Amino acid sequence: MNRSITSHSRYCLLYNLGLMPYIDALEWQRSLLQERIKNPNLEDVLILLEHPPVYTLGQGATPEFLKFDLDNNTYSVYIVERGGEVTYHCPGQLVGYPILNLQRYRQDLHWYLRQLEEVLIRALARYGLEGERITGFTGVWVQGRKVAAIGIKVSRWITMHGFALNVCPDMTGFERIVPCGISDKPVGCLAELIPGITCDEVRANIAQSFAEVFDVELVTADPHGNLPTIKV
């Protein structure tokens, strides 16, 4: 699928997927990034999915934030190229991986992080929840609890990795780490405030907020490689 964008429209392919092993999504992101470094005219991409239980550490992450032995454990753990400390992914957490060419937007990483936060804040507002930023930190909080983590990697102004929103996950996995290296601010999820909420219903709100914030037209893409057909 190598349909190039035109100079008149800014499209972003939306892959709205289910549960995918972390390593598969990671290799897919790396492939998409390299393709766009070679051909910057390729469309931007937004991947929305969930992962089986997995811990990930960013470059330079602090092992002391793990409450288990990194070299002797039964958990799935990956050290990856994103920024940030250790985090946890599991079903019930909606993960978004934007593969964007920031030369189309703004070549400013701080701006990009704030835009990702804005996507999440707008999506939360659709449920009457006030998402908040905390000065000096990256992510989104609701009522003092961190509900969304953000970690990115940018190469040649092409982005990968992204955000993770705790919708209705099993929160016990967070007990084995100091999430994002922040020991004095608890993590939370939307289900604590909106019982019965699911990732499936949140996906549409995230997609709509993403389209608004980045001023793109989302086009639903076929994960099997066929040309996109459904506009969102």
In a domain, 215, yes or no: yes
SS3 labels along 88-143: EECCCEEEEEEECEHHHCCCCHHHHHHHHHHHHHHHHHCCCCCCECCCCCCCEEEC
Single-letter residue type at 159: T
Single-letter residue type at 100: L
- Is 189 assigned a catalytic role? no
DSSP letter string, 33-80? HHHHHH-TTBPEEEEEEE-SSEEEE-TT--GGGBSS-TTS-SS-EEE-
- Tokens standing for residue 96: 């978004």
DSSP classification of residue 178: -
Between the alpha carbon of residue 90 and those of residues 42, 56, 93, 199, 214, the distances in Å are 31, 11, 6, 12, 27
By CB neighbour count within 10 A (0-12 exposed, 13-18 middle, 19+ buried), where does 128 fall? Answer: exposed
In a domain, 6, yes or no: no
Q: Is the pLDDT at 1 greater than 60, yes or no?
A: no
Q: What is the pLDDT of residue 165?
A: 98
In a domain, 162, yes or no: yes
Q: What is the pLDDT of residue 225?
A: 55
- 96: containing domain: 11-231
Taking the C-alpha atoms of residue 31 and residue 37, their distance in angstroms, rounded to an integer, is 10
In a domain, 38, yes or no: yes
In a domain, 1, yes or no: no
In a domain, 5, yes or no: no
In a domain, 4, yes or no: no
Single out the catalytic residue among 12, 90, 168, 180: 180
Averaged confidence pLDDT in the chain: 89
Question: Residue 169's domain is classified under what CATH number?
Answer: 3.30.930.10
Mean of pLDDT values over 168-181: 86
Taking the C-alpha atoms of residue 228 and residue 114, their distance in angstroms, rounded to an integer, is 29
Q: What is the pLDDT of residue 34?
A: 97
At 9, the pLDDT band (50, 70, 90 cuts) reads low
In a domain, 226, yes or no: yes
- Tokens standing for residue 188: 């939370």
Q: Are 48 and 68 in contact (CB under 8 A)?
A: no
* pLDDT, tens digit (0-9, with 9 covering 90-100), for 127-136: 999 999 999 9
At 3, the pLDDT band (50, 70, 90 cuts) reads very low
Higher-pLDDT residue of 162 and 224 is: 162
Least confident segment among 78-82, 116-120, 205-209: 78-82
Q: What is the pLDDT of residue 71?
A: 82
Instruction: Give the number of domains in the chain.
Output: 1
DSSP classification of residue 191: G
At 84, the pLDDT band (50, 70, 90 cuts) reads confident
- Tokens standing for residue 124: 């939360």
Residue among 177, 126, 117, 176 nearest 147 (CA): 117
- Which residues have a Cβ under 8 Å from the Cβ of 110 and sit 6 or more positions away? none
At 155, the pLDDT band (50, 70, 90 cuts) reads very high
Residue among 19, 55, 209 nearest 129 (CA): 209
